[in-house]
Chain A
Amino acid sequence: MNDMMLLIEPLIPQLRRYARALVKDHATADDLVQDCLERAITRWHQRRQDGDARTWLFTILHNLAVSHMRQNRRRGSHVTLDDGVDEAMIARPATQEDALHHADVMQALQTLPEEQRSVLLLVSVEDLTYAEAARVLDIPIGTVMSRLARAREKLLQKMEGTPAQEAAKGGATIHRPVFGAGIFRRVK
């Protein structure tokens, strides 16, 4: 029981973030996390001992979120998937010149199909390895990589026209030194 508390509790903020990014609605996202935690408590002793608790929790949460989104899609309510966001809103340039606006990137994220959004969030935001993301999504690593590439490319297209992207297109002279300066270096 103490093991469970120690392993699960620190992950709750991350689980909330993933759920929120997938379904947007705050209350629904926390409903999913609560359901996930209740299942985790019930099934704690059934999980594979050699498995990683974080991957296991994300798997439970992801499956709950996907079944919730499919249910909503069948009902034709809630625009949580790739078809409900106003294109004009996404294309509108951000007011600040030097950064991608949070709202813009979130809007663009919502235009991705669920399968691409999941991969992008698990890898880019939640820092799962490709192998861990493959386990959560129950797909081969090769599929993780190809979905990730498609997700990034599609997000890039959606973000075209916002100032930061204009800057990114501005020329290699601006950005090549950035590589040298090492902002892409391993964080840890």
Chain B
Amino acid sequence: MNAGRPITEEDFQAYVDHALDERRRAEVDEYLSTHPDAARRVAAYAAQREALRAALAPIAEEPVPHRLNLARLVEARQHRQARSWLSTPGAAVGAGPWRNIAAAVALVLVGGAGGWSMHGIAAGKASLNPETMLTQEAMDNYRVYAADAVRPVEMHAGEQEQLLRWVSQRLDRKVAVPDLSASGYRFMGGRLVATAHGPGAMFFYDDSSGNRIAMLVRPMKQDGDAPMTEHQKDDVGGVTWCNRGMGYSLVADASAQALHPLADEARRQLRTKI
């Protein structure tokens, strides 16, 4: 028998994990040779360890999917940084070439307001007009949900009918979803979001690279239409407008200028759908 330290449960675990030094290992071996119950248990642990490794080994041998390509992820981040620089006020004229790599575009549709002041670019400036408030709500929700890798939407595209029924009921207005697939953005689904002016509906889209855009919708206090205005807050841009009392804001991790054609398309469809 070994005359050293007593054998412990931790020694068994370390034995199974090949984590003992040679000397201690020999001591445990000696112990096990005279304790068949412990030997059986340790053997079972070791068999279990090998079974787990064998069962999971094929996963690590699979080719790494394209979206986990590290070079691509690094490049995407560099593009985001460059775009964020280009889309700052004064530099937005350079945004053209970056349009195609706009990462995430959040469309926020907010319910209509007549009589809005019609500021053009409201780049980053705080203002209390309804349009600006709506855009701010859209951008805030966009930052939270579009960045969520796991569950950006509450209901998926396949549940579009239920989603629209749900949000229409909560907003007490008929809500529709524009189809932006012709622009390369696939509908992902949507969710109900909180705004300072009650519930809003936010819809998300992504392109083939996983770049996300989203659209927020809520009723405005005043009925009527408002023309499109462009907004920019840091790296998030937004285009906001109203149609018959419903406010819409399209926001994205892109310049407002780059978003404008998508907003045009969304507004065109929504006018015919609602």
A37 interface residue, CB < 8 Å from B?
yes
Determine which of B16, B47, B60, B61 lies in contact with A164 in the assembled complex, contact meaning CB atoms within 8 Å.
B47
Q: Does A90 contact B (CB under 8 A)?
A: no
Of A47-55, A79-87, A149-157, the segment with at least 4 beta carbons within 8 Å of chain B is A149-157
CB contact under 8 A between A124 and B68, given known A41-B77, A165-B44: no
- Pick the residue among A16, A41, A159, A187 that contacts B60 (CB under 8 A): A16
Of A8, A33, A105, A184, most buried by chain B (CB within 10 Å of CB) is A184
**Are the CB atoms of B48 and A125 closer together than 8 Å?**
no
Is the CB–CB distance between B16 and A12 below 8 Å?
no
In the complex, which of the residues B39, B67, B77 contacts A175, with contact meaning CB atoms closer than 8 Å? Answer: B39
Contacts of A165 in B (CB 8 A): 44, 47
Q: Is the CB of B70 within 8 A of A12?
A: yes
How many A-B residue contacts, CB cutoff 8 Å? 142
Residue in chain A with minimal CB distance to B37: A172
Q: Are A17 and B56 in contact (CB under 8 A)?
A: yes
| Count class of interface residues, chain A | 35 or more
Given contacts A156-B48, A179-B43, A184-B16, contact A33 B73 (CB under 8 A): no
Interface of B is mostly: helix
A100-128 CB mask vs B (1 if < 8 Å, else 0) is 10110110010000000000110111000
**Residues in A neighbouring B53, C-beta threshold 8 A:** 124-125
A76 interfacial by beta-carbon distance below 8 Å = no
* Inter-chain contacts of A171 with B (CB < 8 A): 36
Query: Bound complex: CA of A100 vs CA of B110, how far in Å?
Result: 58
- Chain B residue at minimal CB-CB distance from A159: B48
Within 8 A of A (CB), among B226-254: none
Instruction: With CB as the reference atom, state the residue of chain B lying closest to A28.
Output: B150
- Label chain A's interface by main secondary structure: helix
Say yes or no for A92: interface residue by CB 8 A criterion: no
* Residue contact B46 to A184, C-beta cutoff 8 Å: yes
Which residues of A (4-38) have their CB < 8 Å from a CB of B? Answer: 4-5, 8-9, 12-14, 16-17, 20-21, 28, 30-35, 37-38
A124 and B49: CB pair below 8 A? Answer: yes
With A13-B60, A148-B13, A187-B18 as contacts: A5 and B70 at CB distance below 8 Å: yes
Chain B nearest CB from A54 CB (Å) reads: 13
Top 7 nearest A-B pairs (CB, nearest first) are: A172-B36, A100-B51, A102-B55, A35-B149, A13-B60, A17-B59, A186-B18
* CB-defined A-B contacts under 8 Å, sample of 5: A21-B56, A30-B65, A99-B51, A124-B17, A172-B39
Q: A17-B60, A168-B44, A176-B33 are in contact. List 4 more A-B contacts (CB 8 A).
A: A12-B64, A34-B149, A145-B10, A184-B18
